[in-house]
Structure 1
């Protein structure tokens, strides 16, 4: 069994309207699914991805209006990467961030690639990374008037885990999930160990987990802008139940087999407390909506459809423009 890379990253927003504006208008991503948190249907769940919702391209947000401030620390997913095709694209984004007053840093090299750190209006810790296309394939660019296919975001890049002790997390990645240690790079924090780079699938940024060891930091207190979990791609439906069996055999408490309708999932926590998910590539976001109109209406899986009126009555109105 082999994981094929990152499937999605799910985070928290306290303002779904501004969140939608940031990810669609400023970042140029496509809203491919407007749904609800299946575990709390009074909350929206918004999925932003490439043009067709390719697995490995979607950043999702749970809308929790009264979410408090995030206090960064360990046991966290402390950065989410997004792939672009070239250094010229990075320059385009740096100018765009200046135009829209998006907080960002200088373009710097991380693990031999040019990167650009930035944040959204809630402090989500994000990064653009140049992907040369030699690893996991690009997603399909969602072309906007101001954002060309050459400059568009074409998928998720590496995720960074910040932990107090890296060895337990490394062991899970290597011995359970099949990742391999590919290298390391300097953290940029004085007296801190190098950041370790683990890879899976066909490689490249879309298949990487970066591990930062920070024993000097407190435990993260999550809130708006923080990441809830990271999911990894299970490309084979046949392997999906086998992963559940493997995790149980290795002593993990899991969620069991969870049908999210657009994909099937298994949740578990690695030893530092970070929530991992294994998600199938199939059936995909177009299982209940045509590709042409993804994200335009509130989508509910069949097991929630009988409760649509009740669910819609409890959802707060959004000013999301179609």
Structure 2
């Protein structure tokens, strides 16, 4: 079993148009996939990432217009971070966010200078100065963005989990998934980089109530089907049930909830260019083959996009 790092993180948005504007025009990510929730094709499923939508750069959103706000609390994936190259990039984004009337705050996070702000659905995002930490060589700069390449977001950084009891999560991450502890309750697959990290915080009180801005799951990247099968052998020995392998067309996945947190294990490939050239990514509704016969009905149920 091998885990490469993060694959993607999935969230709920109330307004997919405002969401698209923020992540592409403000943050400079590329919309690499317009699809639907395969379990409920009446809602859009958008993916943003680097130029080719590589694992570890992907932010995914389900569009649910009638959502009430999330009531934040424990037992949740609380916030996420994105890596920028250096202090000049952090300064650039502080100015850029202000130009779009987005309030940001300087802080230190994961031992690095950082910038915190909220997206249109009140999801907290932290931009972290990556400096000399490594990250995957296959991540691509986005030539479709107006942000200069030297300042662009490079990919995902640490993801923060909040739970009432941290010890079960610590055991799951270290004993089963083979993460190392970089610092107390700060876990990584690569001590040379921040791109795979999970930070676990113990927090009592009411649990999260999902709604607009809810972070549904964190997906970790595994090389191929054999790694999913190895993970299943481990999960079969643990309490609760897993989903088994589900073919998501762009990758294959296994879902498992542990200590209230939903984890997805997703294969690196085949990726979004399985049926779409790079320059056409994110330009039209793309359906997996098994949903293509239903395209007309699906498009009738979806709100139009401009």
Short-chain TM bin = over 0.9
8 Å Cα contact 2:123-2:213 kept in structure 1: yes
8 Å Cα contact 1:237-1:282 kept in structure 2: no
Task: Give CA-to-partner distance per residue, 1:275-303, whole Å, 9 cap, x none.
Answer: 10000001011001001110111000011
**2:201: which partner in 1?**
212
**1:30: which partner in 2?**
30
Matched, 1:174 2:174: yes
2:265 to 278, 285, 288: 278
8 Å Cα contact 1:136-1:202 kept in structure 2: no
Number of paired residues? 305
Matched, 1:247 2:246: no
Deviation at 1:249, TM superposition (A): 2.2
Deviation at 1:201, TM superposition (A): 4.5
Matched, 1:294 2:281: yes
Q: In 1, Cα distance between the equivalents of 2:286 and 2:190? A: 31
**1:187: which partner in 2?**
none
**2:109: which partner in 1?**
110
TM (norm. structure 1) is: 0.91
Map of 1:52-91 to 2, 5 A cutoff? 52-91=52-91
Matched, 1:310 2:297: yes
User: Which residues of structure 1 form unaligned runs of 5+?
Assistant: 185-195
Task: Give CA-to-partner distance per residue, 1:195-227, whole Å, 9 cap, x none.
Answer: x21001465221100011112x31111111120
Instruction: Tell me whether 41-50 or 108-117 shows the greater mean CA deviation.
Output: 108-117
Query: In structure 2, do the counterparts of structure 1 residues 264 and 201 end up closer, same or farther at CA, with 3 Å as the change threshold?
Result: farther
- Cα RMSD after superposing both structures: 1.4
SS at match of 1:224: coil
TM (norm. structure 2) is: 0.96
Deviation at 1:103, TM superposition (A): 2.6
Q: In 1, Cα distance between the equivalents of 2:192 and 2:101? A: 33
Deviation at 1:133, TM superposition (A): 4.9
Q: In 1, Cα distance between the equivalents of 2:44 and 2:224? A: 29
**1:14: which partner in 2?**
14
Map of 1:213-228 to 2, 5 A cutoff? 213-215=202-204, 217-228=205-216
User: Which residues of structure 2 form unaligned runs of 5+?
Assistant: none
